[in-house]
Copies of this chain bind each other. A is one copy, B any other.
């Protein structure tokens, strides 16, 4: 399903009003069931639902590799994904409890940092990254971000290696990242030498996602938060922000950049 649709609207400029059709970002509800239990409804852009569901499970610590999923059924039109896990993770109940206090901006914070960050081991990677290449990756992602260009309302994220390997777009910053992580898992890629690119803010939750996936470097054209930087320092992740026009800021573990 496409990430956008067309709608009629009235455009006002200098006291002139015209009726036009314009491209609008779609907002699509996707409900995920694990072992027949409803666990979450994500509001997302409707492309790459399979990648989103898998990435979400990794990010939440419910699976570690694609093989942990024994079957997956996608009902695209209805917005339903049913996943069966080879073994029911002991974390599922605590996930359901924890998410009573959940959202982005309605985040997990206190529970989250007590449970999650301490359960997560840091990323082990000795890979070095070339500064010049990082800037080029950001430019490439932004040039290719069709949804953002068309609607002005879609975040993008990508996986970088020798080149941009995969790219996702979503109205949700978290979803865009989960789609990249989901793709990486489905494709069984090695991640300790890869880069997670995103257009939006680097919050603590994005750092947890990268850590769970094992990606040592996060780069964005936007800003990181203080908590994201502190976590990245602890979890051995390099955070780069404000990557624009060949410049960027490194907020943690600069030793990886050459």
Contact = CB atoms under 8 A, between A and B. Distances in A.
Contact of A174 (B41, B105, B205): B105
Interface stretch (A95-103, A120-128, A185-193, A210-218): A95-103
A173 B203 CA distance: 13
B106 A12 contact: no
B100 A13 contact: no
Contacts of A225: 24-27, 153, 171
A29 B242 contact: no
Contacts of A228: 27
Contact of A257 (B12, B25, B103, B174): B12
A48 to B, nearest CB: 14
Interface residues of A, number: 76
Interface stretch (A81-89, A161-169, A248-256): A248-256
A158 interface: no
Contacts of A144: none
Q: How many copies does the complex hold?
A: 2
A222 interface: yes
B27 A153 contact: no
A203 B27 CA distance: 8
Nearest to A38: B101
A170 interface: yes
Contacts of A224: 24, 153
Contacts of A101: 31, 38-41, 99
A110 B44 CA distance: 12
Nearest to A107: B43
Given A12-B257, A40-B101, A99-B102, A226 B107 contact: no
Contact of A152 (B7, B104, B108, B222): B222
Interface of A: 4-5, 7, 9-15, 22, 24-31, 38-44, 56, 79, 96, 99-113, 131-132, 151-153, 170-175, 201, 203-205, 222-229, 242, 246-251, 254, 257
